Structure formats: C-alpha cells, structure tokens
Structure 1
Amino acid sequence: MLQNMKYVLIVATALLAVGCEEDFLDTKPTDAISASDALATEANMELILAGMHRGMYSQSQTIMPGGSAIASTQRANEHYWVPMGDNLAGGLIHSANANNLGWRSEAQWNSHTQETSLTVRILWYHRYNIIANANSIINRVEEGDLADTPVLRNILGQAYAYRAYAYMSLVQHYAKGYLIGSPSSDPGVPLLYATEAPFTSAARSTVQEVYDQIASDLESAIDNFKEGAPRPTGSAYDKANLNIDVAYGLRARMALATGNWQLAAESAALAREGYEIMDESAWKAGFNSTLLPGVIWGSNVITTETTYFRSYFYLASNTFNGSQVRNNPKIADRRLIDAIPDTDFRKDMFLVDAPNSNLSAANGQGGWENNTNPLYETEEEFEAEIDRLASKWGWTSRHNTHPYMHVKLRQAVPGGIEPDDIIYMRAEEMLLIEAEALTMMGDIDAAQEVLQELGESRDSAYDVSEYDSQESLMEHIKFQRGVELWGEGFLFQDKIRWDEGIDHSADGGSGASQVLYQDAYIVEKPSVNPDWIFKIPQAEIDANPNLSPADQNP
C-alpha cells in the first residue's frame, strides 16, 4: 500500500526558497532522520511531531518526495483542504473565470469526481502519511521499554489524535456519509497499522469499522493527555500542538457525524472549556492568527516557506496579491448574507454594495456601463467607491471588486503575499456542535441557552426564544453555522450530514453564474448522488494488492 511514500518519518524541515514567482516555486527539504534514531528518544519523537505539524501546511512534495504526481507543488495541504470544503459546497463562490491550482475545477465538481486528479491523490496520500508517522510513534511506545513520563504521554496522545484526525478525513471524503448510508456495510477506507514499507493493510474496512477505530484512537488520546505534560502556551506555534481540547473537539466532530448526540454535546462542551468567544474586534481581525481568542488548534505557518501562491489566503481571501484573487473576487451566497440582521456585526465583513469593477465578471455585469446599484449615480461615484475600498481594506489598484465580496479572511498584511496561519478548530464551532446535538436530542431549552451565548455576542438585538421548536431551531443553527464558520471549510461535511444538495438558483439565487458553475450549479443531495464521495486514486488501486477496480467508488 502507499507505494509512493518514499519516506515515513518526517522531522521538522527547513525549506529553502529559490524563487517566489507566482507560477514557479521551488522548495527543497533539508532535514530527514532514520527510523531507529527518530524513535530512540522523546526529543527525537517530538521532532517527528514537529514535522507532522509542518506537514499539515507544507507543499506536498516536502512530505511526499519523488517524481510522481503526489509530489506536485500545487497543493500545500491544509492551505488547500480547509477552504476546499466551502469551495466544493458552493459557499465560497467564484465571481470570475480563474483556475489557478484547479480551484475552479473543484467548484465545478470536475476534480474530486476524477480518480486521476491531483486532489484525490494528494489528499489520500497526505492523510496516510499522517497515519504512517503516527503509527511509528504508537508502535514504538507499545513496545514497552521506554520510561513512562508525562512528556511521552503527551507525544503518544498527539499521535493517537493525529491518526484519528486523518482517518476521519479519509472516511468522510472517500466513503458515504454515516447518517445517510449503511455504515455497517458501506465500504470505508483501508486501516493501516504498519510502521515501515511496504505499508500493508487490509482491504477497505466498513465505514463503521473505520469510525470504531477513530473512536478508539480518540479515547486513547484523551487518556494519554490526561496523564501527559500540558501544551505550552504563549506563542502562535503552541496551537499547532494537539492537546486534550483538540481530542475532545475531534470526538465532538466524530459524534456529530455519526448521530451520537449526547457524546457530541458533552465533548464539544469539554473542548471549548476555558476558551473565550471572539468579540467584535477579534472576529473582524482577519482570521489570520492562531493567537486569536477561541482558537483551539491551528497551524502557525512559517512565512519564509514558499506556500505563498499555494496558501489558504491565496485561494480564499480577497486581499491577497495574486491573480486568483485579483481577477476573481470570492463572494458569499447573497441569500445567506441578506438574512443576517443589520444589528449583527458579522454582516460588516461582506461588502454587499461593492461595485462590480470586473469587466470579466462571470455574471456579465462588470464595469460602470452595467452598473445597476442606485448608490452610484455617476461613474465618478462608482470609481471613488472602488478606490475607497482598496484604501480601507489594503488591496491594490489591480484588484477587482464585486458585490457580496468578503473581507472576513485577510492577511495580517493585506495586499501582500504572506500565507499566515490556518485555523482548524475554535470554540465557536464547538458551541455550534453542542447546540446542534442538544437540538437533535430535543433539549430545546438547553440548545437555546447555548446559542444565546453566541448570538448575543454577535448581534445586539439577538433573541433565540423565537426559535422554539426543533425544526425552527435546527434551521437557525444551520444559518448560524453558515455565517459564523463561513470560509473555514465546514460546509461540504455539513451538507452531507444534513443531506442537502446545492442549488444556486433557488430563492432568488446565490449570485453564482450558471455558465461558470456548469453541472455544479445544481447538485442533488448526497443520499442520492454518489458524486459527493471522492474517487479513490487510480494509482492506489493499481499499486495496492488489497484493492481492485471493483473497490472504486461509483
């Protein structure tokens, strides 16, 4: 299995940039370590963890070296995978035709539905790379000859949590959703326990068996974290380390995906304990630092590494100075934004009345000649607003603007090319999981109490009492997730859990162009449409003796 994984153990690598042009970036790993040395001491195992942290956002060739397609520079892992969830689900909407890194092809559902695409290959191998590294630590510690110390327990807790995270990602992309399928018989993904090549595994386990492994790993992670050294605090890098809060958060996600509402509510409450809900200033700060209040887990991206034109902010932010952004401002679904009350400060981060300055806009309404916004009665007013927005938000004169474009995701230095941090988990997500789980259990009063905490921190006129039935409260939770977590990658899995399709035409339209989105303009719900499941990489089927063409997803 995983024939393309040339190196299992990845220690913290320093990347030497030899070029920083947008269309050509070259990187070189400068550090590696043998398996025996890497697993000899706690300090060396911590280097493996540091390499895993780095591998979360490094370009794929730095963790999967070699000449194959999985070593492509076109995916910088979580920089790509995090916003992909909103891109695929139609939340992060393209306003113009641009296909850098295949980002438009993702939105059109022309990538994850192809077994030879970079996306299905690199996501598969990246997750199994995490698993192989975690296995190395777990298997070594299970040999039982190392001193049982709090540091070792912390290392082991992180390894188990990482493995659970990777398996959850795999089963949620390459298998049918738990709540809309038959998990005890639906094919999941292979379970891998090996430490060294050839990485033999079983055939595809069932979805249930994979989730059972995830649950077991998370319990092991929590047990070890309870006895382990605490996560350091004070720096952005500290949040890259997994701790017991991250393990509780992953368990909350797992339980929500499987309909274990009680466990989801309990785990989410534990995960967010001790974390502050972001206030208005923090929420509007750009979501570019793991030091923001409420951040439980995220990657502290080292800016000297050449992820610039492969970064989360390049793909999703409207202030990044790259062609994907300048030519193609990302907009939010106007149906969602119009539903946000004016008393809710989150609405300020979506520029409803931004002029459409893009002559190449997919809706054909770019430029002053096509202006229909009564706020701009003259071309001078139209152009003046374009200049004002550039001055206020920090983008350049080459950036286009578009109605409903967002400024939620912004670099620390807008108008530049720095990649900045990636946030994976925060307290507000946990609060929303808790509220959803309580609602699904029928505990409306408790769910309302939880939601009131979030709502009143965002909306000066918020009153949750009007949502007094399970149905109305659940719809409100979907709305709150849509606004609060917009652009943070959760929408694809949300739609699978809720069994909801994509319809950019309904209820006045989302603002997406049917010409641009093609067959992805309307997508049937996951329970009837197998295209919500990623194809297994053809290269894996060809190389893995435990898989055959019959194992390919339909």
Structure 2
Amino acid sequence: MKNKILNKMKRKIYLVVLTMSLLFPYSCSDDYLEAVPTDAISDGAAYANVDNVALVLNGLHRQMYVSALQGGGTPNGESYFMPALDFIAGEVIHTGPGFNWMKGEARWLSHTNANSTISFDFWFQRYHFVNISSAIINNIASSNFTPTPKLNDILGQAHAYRAWAYYRLVTTFAKGYLIGNPSTDPGVPLILNQGAPLEGAPRATVAEVYEQIEEDIDGAIEYLKKASAPENKSHISLNTAYGIKARIALSKGDWSTAASSAALARQGFPLFNEEQWHAGFNSVDLPEAMWASRIIDTESNFFASYFYYISFMFNGGECRGNNKIINIDLYNSIPSTDHRTKAWLPNAPNTNSAAYNGQGGSAAADPNYDDEATFQAAKAAIIAEFGATSRHNTHPYMNVKFKQSRPGTNNPDDVIYMRSAEMYLIEAEAKAMLNDITGAQNVLEAFAITRDPAFDKTAFTTQASLMEQIKFQRRVELWGEGFAYHDKIRWDEGIDQTTSGASLVIYGDAFIQDKPSTNDSWVFKIPQQEIDSNPFLTESNQNP
C-alpha cells in the first residue's frame, strides 16, 4: 500500500512540473494558453502546433534558474546547484554562520543523505527536464508538422536538454566514468517516454546512459545546424550544444572529441579582456557568455538566487555574515602578474565577530591589523568600492569576483552557465591528455595570456606539467561556477583543507576526504522518495 501511495505522489510531482513548464514561458501572448486555466491544458493542446510547443520549451529555459520546481519553496535551479557543487568540492569556503545556507553541502551532510533536499531536488529537476524534453521529441515525432528551421530549433534544443540532464544525473548519482567500470557500474534509470503514468525504470549502466546522452547531443547538433538563429542566450544554440558535447566527452576521456567540440563551441565568443573579466559575471551580454539566463526583476528568485549564495555585496543575511573565500593556498599560487588576483582580497579585515577562524570582530583579534582605526578604515574602503552595505562583513581572501549590477540590494542578476573560457580549458586538457604537447601549449597560451601577460607556455613541456597548469587555471578561472566537484572526480583528487582557510570545527568529516576512486561518498545518494516509489528500485539499488 505504501508503494502505491508514493507512486501516485511521484506521478503527481511529474504532472505538476509539466504544468509549471506551461505556466512560466518567457512569452505568454498565446491567446489559447492565456484563456484556458492551466490545470485544464491537455497534452493535445500543448503540442497542437509549433508555437505551443515552443512555449513548452520556453518553460525549460526558465526552469534553469527558478527556485521552486514543485512550488514548495525549495531551491533547485542552477542558481543553487552551481555553487552547491563547489561547496561540496571544498573550493568555495564558508567563513561564518550567515543564515547557514549550504553548510550541509560543505560538510558533506546533504548529498550523502537520501532524504536531503539537494539530492531530491537535483534528481527531480533533471528528470523534469528529461520528461519535458521527451514529451517534445515524442509529440513532434507523432505529428505531421512541416519541417522548418523553427521546428529544427525546438527539436535540437529538446535533444540537447535531455542530453544535458542525463549527463548531470549520471555524473552525480553514479561513479565517475574514468574511475569506475562504466559497462557494469549502475547509472540512473533511462526513461524516454513522457507523462503519467510514470512507472519508473531500473538503473541502466553508466555506459548505457552515456550511449543515450551521446545519441541525444549528436542529434541536437544535427537539428541545430538546420535551425533558425537562437532568440537569446537562454536558448541552447549550436555553439552551446557543441559545448555540452565537449563536457560529455571530457568526462569519459574521449579526448579527441572533447578537443574538437570545444574548439567549435567557442567560435564567435571572444575571451574577456581585463575590464570585462572584473565586470562581475552578472550579464548575458558579456562576450564570453555562451549560455545564460537573463533574469528580470519580476522573475527574480531573490534569496534563492545565484548571487545570494556566491556574491559578497548581495544584501542578504547569508552574504553579510558569511564571506565566501578562495582556498588560501590556491590564491597564493596565482602569479602577481595575473590580473585575477584582484578577484579576491587577501588583506581584507576580518570584521565578523562570529568568524569561524576566531580572528574576527576587531583589530585586536585580526593578526593582520595593529590598530582599530586602520582596521575600520580598511572595511569602509571595501564597502565603498564594491557597493555593499555597512552591515556587510569582510574577511581575508574574500571573493569579489561576482559583483551585482546593483550592489547592496537583493535585485536579480543574470546567471551564466557556459563561457568560452571553459572551452579553451577543455581543449587544452584534452590535447594534453592526447600528449599533443604543442597543441595544448598553444591553446593554453591563447587563453592564459589574456589573464596574465607574463604567461610563458614554454614552462610546460610535459603532459604532467601541462596538466598541473590546466588544473590550476580551471580552479582559478572557474571558481564559484560549479565545476570543482566534477573536476575532482575526473582527476580523481580528494579534499584536504588543512591550509585552505577552512575551519575543521565547522567542516568536520568534509575537511579531509579521500579521492573518489576509493571513496564512495563522492556519489550522491538517490532520493529516498525514488527508492520508495520506483517499483524497479529497492534499498539494494541505493548508492553505498
């Protein structure tokens, strides 16, 4: 009886998210969808014509950043997931209590718990994308729509979204492709139908899931080659599809495909100059932004927004009382000629009396300052320069990489999901792994010279030295953008916060974690709701 009830609950969840995808399109001008109550819209009406299908697809664009997928107020868009993955990997470090957002993630108490919010949200948000993408693909397949550039665009994006969703699922809820046995390791259920009843499916192998992912992203690229130009950067363009393909290939060690796809993806998206790099990463209009959501005031998720979790000057209690810092060792390894040193403030005064390191609140407690006047003046200068409020605390090595366009408020800013800088780094890594030393040097130089005019590619003449430099560049360049968790799995690297600036008292077991190949705790637990409601899964199918 319990399973039947939970199965009904699961079906209800999927029906609700389908409704929400129709509720929140970017354009609500369609007369029919405005005139008919949302709960009365049938699949037949939603997929009756190409324009209506485009509105369903627009719902997915919005779901990339919304804060409440099922209407319950829980944070579960990329605005939450991207910083959460960097907290889990230990690259973005908490310094004070704030409102305790993401402390569970940082302490490894969330993704290791089958009943946690993040495991539930990560799982069901991705399957929401799978469900709606499949509905679009399958309904178009059974229709008599005339092939047009617009229809190709819809199909291309739907296949790309499904590939992206399964890629995100299999790389968090299963062992890494490069460190496991993909032909036998349990992956995630492959469900390619849509709508109720959703009876679930058994866990496919990691290799089988990757086969579906690659089929979808290759199909997406072929459709998008024949598609109309994307309306804005929230849509998945041909460049973005190549970028997704590059990420997929990198995660499984298909180095040749990763390199070629990344090179294609970055075309037309020039690297930032110094001024652009320090503009705040807050606008879709920045030249490196390949895939991003433009967030308007009426669609803001305010205290579940990306900048609430990661920015210094956002006016929320989490930001005012919990500066996010870079790993001290990493920062100190950045050359003085690299302009990215300005993205963190190593000498900021520790003004938080509740700081985890016990050195906050006054010049007497802060070893970097000898007198209170200098201490307070340093804080005032930072507040004035970056537009925070007087209630905001500061902390050594605090991040000012992410700036609000309207600092000191809780107004929304755009969220960037993919930048061309990442594509340069993927191409460089893939070529290094192919032992193409010259090719990797040249790509790395083309990127790094824009960050550090003194960069010298001839210092890196072996695969090992190139890989160490590429890892360094990814950690600095992509800090706070959600890549560290999957990078550590791909590189099979553990966590050691001993000299990072993190507090052992706060981080607990997460302070030191063994590398992923020997540590099953890196893998997210499957949500307990899925175990209970999917008739093909039992506790024996749960991740260890």
Same-fold call, TM > 0.5? yes
* 8 Å contact kept, 1:297–1:426: yes
Of residues 2, 15, 24, the one that matches 1:13 is: 24
Residue of structure 1 equivalent to 2:67: 59
Residue of structure 2 equivalent to 1:127: 126
Q: CA deviation at 1:540?
A: 0.8
Percent of aligned positions with the same letter in both sequences? 47
Residue of structure 1 equivalent to 2:444: 451
Q: Does 2:407 align with 1:407?
A: no
Q: Does 2:507 align with 1:517?
A: yes
Q: Does 2:78 align with 1:78?
A: yes
SS in 2 for 1:512: coil
* 8 Å contact kept, 1:188–1:205: yes
Residue of structure 2 equivalent to 1:42: 50
Write the letter of the residue equivalent to 2:195. E
Q: CA deviation at 1:57?
A: 1.2
* 8 Å contact kept, 1:12–1:54: no
CA distance in 1 between counterparts of 2:244 and 2:25 reads 29
Deviations 1:205-240 (Å, cap 9, x if unpaired)? 0000000000000010001011111213xxxxx100
CA distance in 2 between counterparts of 1:468 and 1:341 reads 19
SS in 2 for 1:40: coil
Query: Mind listing any 5+ residue stretches in structure 1 that lack a counterpart?
Result: 16-29, 66-71, 233-237
* 8 Å contact kept, 2:99–2:317: no
Q: CA deviation at 1:180?
A: 0.4
Write the letter of the residue equivalent to 1:13. F
* 8 Å contact kept, 1:12–1:47: no
Q: CA deviation at 1:200?
A: 3.2
Q: Does 2:162 align with 1:194?
A: no
Of residues 280, 288, 297, the one that matches 2:291 is: 297
Q: CA deviation at 1:167?
A: 0.3
CA distance in 2 between counterparts of 1:98 and 1:530 reads 30
Q: CA deviation at 1:202?
A: 2.7
Q: CA deviation at 1:12?
A: 4.9
* 8 Å contact kept, 1:90–1:502: yes
Deviations 1:243-271 (Å, cap 9, x if unpaired)? 11111001100000000000000000000
TM normalised by structure 2 equals 0.94
Write the letter of the residue equivalent to 1:518. G
Aligned residues: 521
Q: Within 5 A, what are the aligned runs for 1:86-97?
A: 86-97=86-97
Residue of structure 2 equivalent to 1:26: none
Query: Mind listing any 5+ residue stretches in structure 2 that lack a counterpart?
Result: 1-6, 27-36
CA distance in 1 between counterparts of 2:470 and 2:234 reads 29
Deviations 1:388-425 (Å, cap 9, x if unpaired)? 10000111111110000010011111111013111110
Deviations 1:340-385 (Å, cap 9, x if unpaired)? 1111111111101001111110000112111222xx4321111101
CA distance in 2 between counterparts of 1:514 and 1:122 reads 28
TM normalised by structure 1 equals 0.92
Write the letter of the residue equivalent to 1:405. M
Q: Within 5 A, what are the aligned runs for 1:58-457?
A: 58-60=66-68, 63-65=69-71, 72-101=72-101, 103-232=102-231, 238-366=232-360, 367-373=362-368, 376-457=369-450
CA distance in 2 between counterparts of 1:411 and 1:493 reads 27
* 8 Å contact kept, 1:6–1:64: no
SS in 2 for 1:297: strand
* 8 Å contact kept, 2:86–2:481: yes
Q: Does 2:511 align with 1:502?
A: no
Deviating above 6 A after TM superposition, structure 1's stretches of 4 or more consecutive aligned residues are none
CA distance in 1 between counterparts of 2:198 and 2:458 reads 54
SS in 2 for 1:425: strand
Q: CA RMSD in A?
A: 1.4
CA distance in 2 between counterparts of 1:530 and 1:335 reads 27
